[in-house]
Chains A and B, each alone.
Chain A
Amino acid sequence: MANNKLYKGSLSTIILKLLEENDRMYGYEITQKVKELTAGELIITEGALYPALHKLEGDGYLTVEYQLVNNRQRKYYALTPDGKKEKAAKMEELERFVQQMQFLLHPKKSIDG
């Protein structure tokens, strides 16, 4: 992942947000979607993506289903009701963090509005 230290803590939030917008997605599709949305600026590696997906699945935030596609089984992830709540909480947390960073990095600009 590019700029990995900065993005690493937000990976779960990115995944939850994408799944909310796309109903269900599979691993490779998530990596490509992130690449596309950030114009190639952010690359999520498999070594970062799958552990995050499995953790979210283990915590009950994601549900999975398999489908036969092009001669192989594909594992699709979707949000559970708990996942939707978690996504809202994580988004709020991330937005607050970004806002605080704005205050810290550009104090004058932030106060002036």
Chain B
Amino acid sequence: MDRVLSADEIRWIHDFLELKDITYYDVQVEIVDHLASLIEAKWAAGSRQSFEVLFFEVFKDFGDHQWRQLLGAKQKGVWRQVVRNGVSIFLNFFTWPLVAYTFLSFLLIYTFLLAVPNAVNYLQESMYLWGFIVLVTWGYVIYRRPAKRAFLAYDGFVTFLGIDLYLVGWILPDFFAIFSERFSATPNGMLGLAAFYSLLVLVILTFSILMRIKGVQQFYKTYPQLLITQ
């Protein structure tokens, strides 16, 4: 039987790639297998050279820039997957129960705005609650992060630009404050405010939270084998 790389030699290649700044385990795995296959093919073809000599030979043949290109391609691939998931979650959002949910929220918020004095202030303060929910989701993401190694796919699936933190931390409260100051005095303004809250706040934040939770689930579904041996 032809010689194959030992577990120690495989670990050595992983460590070497770490030093070359290819730190994501899911990216390393594919490169390690490719390099190991090239080395084993040389042994199978009759080479009597050592692992170290053959490793640097195959690594030199490929060149540093190509491994970086590979990392970039993997990043783009993960991003495409994230966007595809996002589009699919977003489209699923427009099924009738969710449209009904959004419409009912709109009616409730509108009634609330008309019936309760200073209701606008309550809505504005509800941003803190949303901020809390978003932070809890991030806590879940951090808690579920694989313990030992970094995974590009995990970061890609769950990060999604941190758009919800950005929204609750800055854009929505400011936007809401400007909007409410200008329009809350009129019935049409209340209508607009209710629409703004139900569409922008409820829909966008629910979407981004769902996106992150689904991202974690998808990661664990796709990479169970890698998580065992990382």
Chains A and B are bound partners:
yes
Contact B84 A59 (CB under 8 A): yes
Knowing A58-B78, A58-B81, A71-B7, say if A66 contacts B34 (CB, 8 Å).
no
Residues in chain A near residue B66, CB distance under 8 A: 45-47
Knowing A58-B77, A58-B81, A71-B4, say if A47 contacts B29 (CB, 8 Å).
no
Residues in chain B near residue A54, CB distance under 8 A: 73-74, 76-78
Q: Report the separation of the CA atoms of residues A65 and B30 in the bound assembly, to the nearest whole angstrom.
A: 12
Q: Report the separation of the CA atoms of residues A32 and B34 in the bound assembly, to the nearest whole angstrom.
A: 11
Minimum distance in angstroms from A26 CB to a CB of chain B: 7
What is the chain B residue whose CB lies nearest that of A68? B229
Which residues in window 195-230 of B have CB below 8 A to A? 222-223, 225-226, 229
Q: Report the separation of the CA atoms of residues A46 and B68 in the bound assembly, to the nearest whole angstrom.
A: 11
**Chain A: interface residue total (CB-CB under 8 A):** 27
Main DSSP-derived SS at the B contact region: helix
Which residues in window 34-53 of A have CB below 8 A to B? 45-47, 50-51
Is there a chain B Cβ closer than 8 Å to A57's Cβ? yes
Main DSSP-derived SS at the A contact region: mixed
Minimum distance in angstroms from B171 CB to a CB of chain A: 28
Q: Which of A16-24, A72-80, A86-94 contacts B (4 or more CB under 8 A)?
A: A72-80
What is the chain B residue whose CB lies nearest that of A63? B222
Residues in chain A near residue B9, CB distance under 8 A: 71
Residue with the greatest number of chain B CB neighbours at <10 A, chosen from A51, A55, A64: A51
Contact A28 B33 (CB under 8 A): yes
Is there a chain A Cβ closer than 8 Å to B186's Cβ? no
Which residues in window 56-111 of A have CB below 8 A to B? 57-60, 64-75
**Chain B: interface residue total (CB-CB under 8 A):** 35
Contact A50 B30 (CB under 8 A): yes
Knowing A68-B229, A72-B33, say if A60 contacts B81 (CB, 8 Å).
yes
Contact A73 B76 (CB under 8 A): no
Q: Report the separation of the CA atoms of residues A74 and B31 in the bound assembly, to the nearest whole angstrom.
A: 10
Residue with the greatest number of chain A CB neighbours at <10 A, chosen from B7, B41, B70, B226: B70
Contact B225 A66 (CB under 8 A): yes
Minimum distance in angstroms from B8 CB to a CB of chain A: 9
Knowing A26-B33, A46-B62, say if A70 contacts B5 (CB, 8 Å).
yes
Is there a chain A Cβ closer than 8 Å to B36's Cβ? yes
Q: Report the separation of the CA atoms of residues A50 and B76 in the bound assembly, to the nearest whole angstrom.
A: 12
Q: Report the separation of the CA atoms of residues A55 and B6 in the bound assembly, to the nearest whole angstrom.
A: 32
14 A-B pairs with C-beta separation under 8 A: A28-B34, A46-B34, A46-B66, A47-B66, A51-B70, A55-B77, A58-B76, A58-B80, A68-B225, A71-B7, A72-B10, A72-B36, A74-B33, A75-B29
B residues lining the A interface (CB < 8 Å) = 4-7, 9-10, 29-30, 32-34, 36-38, 40-41, 62, 66, 69-70, 72-74, 76-81, 84, 222-223, 225-226, 229
Given contacts A46-B66, A71-B10, 4 further A-B contacts (CB under 8 A): A28-B38, A47-B70, A66-B29, A66-B226
